[in-house]
Structure 1
Amino acid sequence: MELFIKQKVFSWKDHFSVKDRQGRDCYLVEGKLFSWGKKLHVFDQSGKEVLYIEQRLWKWLPTYVLFIEGKEAAVVKQEFSFFKPRYTIEGPNWRMEGSFGAHQYQIMESGKVIADISKEWFTWGDSYALRINDEAHALLALGIIIVIDCVIASQQAASSGS
């Protein structure tokens, strides 16, 4: 399964769609404009919320909880590292490897690739290609990818002083 995310540029709040290879909308992601911590809602084509992402506050490093259909499915945490970002996933037995800064990484389980993520650099706004090997993992993999992007974007904004 392939999904494509193109974030809207110059948006006051997180708002972007997830499309299939034919350019059809599969999911809509919307964030709350005024809230403590980041809160993102993911809706399917019928408007039903299928994934909810919430940032845990008062943590030293970014921590996000992912809920699928109201049930906690995973917790994604950035780990302390001197050289390159590291993340852990609590819940499923998944791990991530690759270059997060270059937006080229994989989600793995027992040596098998669950999802492969790559960023398209020469487009208007951030665009990502997601190759998910098992459709049953699509929502959770999508949520994890959104979390990683939130963390990177927050760190870039903080380092640029905006």
Structure 2
Amino acid sequence: MRMYFKQRLFSWFDSYDIYNEQGNPIYVVKGQISWGHCLKIFDPYGNEAGTVKEQIFTFLPKFEIYQGNQYLGCIKKEFSFLKPRYDIDYNGWHIDGSFMEWDYKITDAAGGMVASISKELFHMTDQYVIDVYDPQNPLIALMFVLAIDAEKCSRND
């Protein structure tokens, strides 16, 4: 499954639209007022599907992931040189990024591909293409991409 992740232009808080290959909206992401980033994900009917919440007062960036009200795990940036790395305490997943932080791979505990993320260049806002290899995982992969984007945003502020 392929998803297109587009940040909204001129948004006071983090806001994103997520589309499928046919251009239909599948998720809407809205930033909430909080200490650190708090992103709520809604399905096309306005039902809350998930939350990505930044934990503050941590040495390296850390985000908790919720599907509905159920805690799934957290994503933590690892100390690394040249290429970003993230550890996920969900199903043994791991994220490795490219040198320029434009491309990422989410792999499972056995090294199998869960999702690949590519940043599209030359746009006014952040835009990513997310390829998810298991139809059970698009929301979870999206939440990890949101955490990575929020971490990069915090670094650039």
Q: Unpaired segments of 5 or more residues in structure 2?
A: none
User: What is the count of residue pairs matched by the alignment?
Assistant: 156
- Give 1:30 shift: 0.3
8 Å contact from structure 1 (residues 101, 152) kept in 2: no
- Give 1:100 shift: 6.4
- Give 1:101 shift: 3.6
Moved over 4 A (4+): none
TM-score for both structures, normalised by structure 1? 0.90
Match runs of 1:10-159 below 5 Å: 10-32=10-32, 34-99=33-98, 101-109=100-108, 110-157=110-157
8 Å contact from structure 1 (residues 103, 118) kept in 2: yes
Q: Unpaired segments of 5 or more residues in structure 1?
A: 158-162
Q: Which amino acid aligns with 2:38?
A: K
Provide, for residues 26-53 of structure 1, a one-character-per-residue CA deviation record: whole Å limited to 9, x for no partner: 0000011x32121110000111111111
User: Aligned to 1:46, what secondary structure does the other structure show?
Assistant: coil
Percentage of identical aligned residues:
35
8 Å contact from structure 2 (residues 75, 147) kept in 1: yes
Q: Which amino acid aligns with 1:152?
A: K
Per the alignment, residue 160 of structure 1 pairs with none
Distance 1:21 1:45 in 2: 15
Q: Which amino acid aligns with 2:143?
A: G
Taking a change above 3 Å as real, the CA distance of residues 75 and 100 of structure 1, as seen in their structure-2 partners, is: farther
8 Å contact from structure 1 (residues 18, 27) kept in 2: yes
